[in-house]
Amino acid sequence: MKYAFIHQHHQAFPIQRLCRSVGVARSGYYAWRQCGGLSSARHHRQAALDYRVASAFHRKQGRSGAPRLTLDLKDEGLSINRKTVAASLRRQGLHAKAARRFKATTNSRHGLPVAPNLLQQDFVAKAPNRKWVGDITYLWTNEGWLYLAVLLDLYSRKVIGWAMRERMTADLVVDALQMALWNRRMPKGVIVHSDRGSQYCSVLYQSMLARHGLHCSMSAKGNCYDNACAESFFHSLKVEAIHGERIRTREQMRQQVFEYIELDYNRQRRHSAIGMISPVAFEARMIA
């Protein structure tokens, strides 16, 4: 360990002084290097690094790759670059959960009135409660399908409202909207954007928007990019929390979604659109 200490600091101090300070001969240090001691020290450092990287990886349940893990480790006091973290992950055979495609859910083939596209793919909001986006997706369990509706605030990308039901009815999106209104203390004048699905065009949903002074916006027909932020959230949810998991019951799926949204995505997951911090941290920083 003394020789390893000398090697660690030999660029800052003369080797002779370091050997004298720890009570060893220079010849012993050089012999240690020639006999592979240096390689051994490097191995120990690498093993220690791999342990830290693997611990951070498993704490995030395999949901974070090198860029996010690098920031997590920096918060823990370990300043290393992304390439070093990526190399450690490769050495250990650790891979963040990979992407899969998923299909659109809602049915836009109906005769109900549709709203104009007020959002126009402008996904930037300068303050909370200016622009919300919503969508529906389906989740499979051994008991059958569950449908999930969400609303995100584009200011922080935080999920502010969500609901799950066994049937994809208007009540589903109304429940999600009600949660968002409660969480955000009943704001007025918000643009609430969705696709043209029958649930969003329903009298029940539209009357609730009008009653609370919210402005309805809908995507152009067949254009998934108009609601890209909501679809991006579903992509993250399915890749990081659903795919590869064997979920037997609807109750298990509800618990899985709750934990992902409320404990991980909103509070811990670093989001590239808001400076690689979590939605809750972003809102706290902006308010402060």
Q: What amino acid is encoded at 2 in this protein?
A: K
User: In degrees, to the nearest 5, what angle opens at C-alpha 57 toward C-alphas 274 and 138?
Assistant: 65
How confident is the model over 168-183, as a mean pLDDT?
Answer: 97
In whole numbers, what is the pLDDT of the chain averaged over residues?
85
* pLDDT-above-70 percentage for the chain: 88
Q: What's residue 36's pLDDT?
A: 67
**What CA–CA distances, in Å, run from 228 to 56, 59, 153, 200, 213?**
29, 28, 13, 17, 25
User: What pLDDT score was predicted for residue 223?
Assistant: 72
Give the mean pLDDT of 82-91. 81
**Stretch 114-126: mean pLDDT, rounded?**
93
Lowest-pLDDT choice from 113-117, 163-167, 202-206, 283-287: 283-287
What is the pLDDT, as a whole number, of residue 18?
Answer: 84
Q: Average pLDDT in the 180-195 region?
A: 96
The Cα 66–Cα 43 span in angstroms is: 21
By mean pLDDT, which of 23-37, 68-82, 163-177 is the weakest? 23-37
Distance CA 102, CA 82 (A): 29
**Whether residue 288 has pLDDT greater than 80:** no
What predicted TM-score, i.e. pTM, was given to this entire model?
0.70
- Residue 102 pLDDT > 50: no
Q: What does the buried/exposed string (b/e) look like for 70-101 if buried means 16 or more CB atoms within 10 Å of the residue's CB?
A: bbbbeeeeeeeeeeebbbbbeeeebebbeeee
Tell me the per-residue pLDDT of 224-266, one tens digit each, with 9 for 90 and over. 778 899 999 999 999 889 987 889 999 999 999 999 999 999 9
Residues 6+ apart with CB under 8 A from 187: 129, 181
